[in-house]
Amino acid sequence: MDKDTKLHRVFQIASIFLILVSVAVIYLTNRYIPFMMDDLWYSTMLSSEEPITGIGDIITSQIWHYFNWGGRSLTHAILQLTLLAGENAADILNVAMTLILCFVICTIAGVRRATAFFAAIGMLLGLNANWKMSMFWQAGAANYLYITSFILLYLYCYLRELDSTKKLPGITF
């Protein structure tokens, strides 16, 4: 094994370790920040103070929301689903969506290495202007973290099919 291969291997192992540490920190941060503000309102039927108890209540709430507040029904339905699942499940889902977003970023960039994945996690947290309100607060996570993943997945599929005869720069298929 030559020196460059050994160094690359060390970076890969260090990156995997740092990814695991990052996942633990993201999970613990999610556990620390409780449901608050809009989370409390969206955990109700919206038109009344009754708590949501199932998917039927979420559909009814989103119909009311569409006609009274307008827009973002998908994000708020996702928010209500995660609120219905409870804080423990929401924390796990937030960690999963953070990892999915980092994976999608790396896939669109055409780089699938542990070092790139760790860099995506680091930049997602480090370059985020207000990570508490956009990743760890449940309403913020639904509106920004979850939807950004869906938008990028759509964009990836769209770009891939846009011109399937040529490879796009930086993207490997």
Question: CA-to-CA distance for 117 and 99, rounded, in angstroms?
Answer: 9
Instruction: Compute CA distances 38 → 76, 80, 124, 155, whole Å.
Output: 10, 11, 23, 29
Question: CA-to-CA distance for 33 and 3, rounded, in angstroms?
Answer: 45
Positive/negative CA dihedral, 130, 133, 136, 140: negative
- CA atoms lying within 13 Å on the CB side of residue 116: 12
Q: What is the reported pLDDT for 11?
A: 82
Classify 102 as helix, strand or coil: helix
Q: What is the DSSP-derived secondary structure letter of residue 171? A: -
Instruction: Compute CA distances 59 → 18, 89, 113, 170, whole Å.
Output: 40, 20, 40, 40
Instruction: Compute CA distances 20 → 14, 16, 105, 140, 160, whole Å.
Output: 10, 6, 18, 24, 31
**The pTM is what?**
0.80
Both tokens assigned to 54? 């199932």
31-55: per-residue pLDDT in tens? 887 777 777 777 878 778 888 888 9
- CA 110-135-108 angle, to 5 degrees, is 10
97-130: per-residue pLDDT in tens? 999 999 998 888 888 888 888 888 888 888 877 7
Q: 137, 36 in Cβ contact below 8 A?
A: yes
Q: What band does 168 get if pLDDT is binned at 50, 70 and 90?
A: low
- Tokens 């993201």 belong to 26
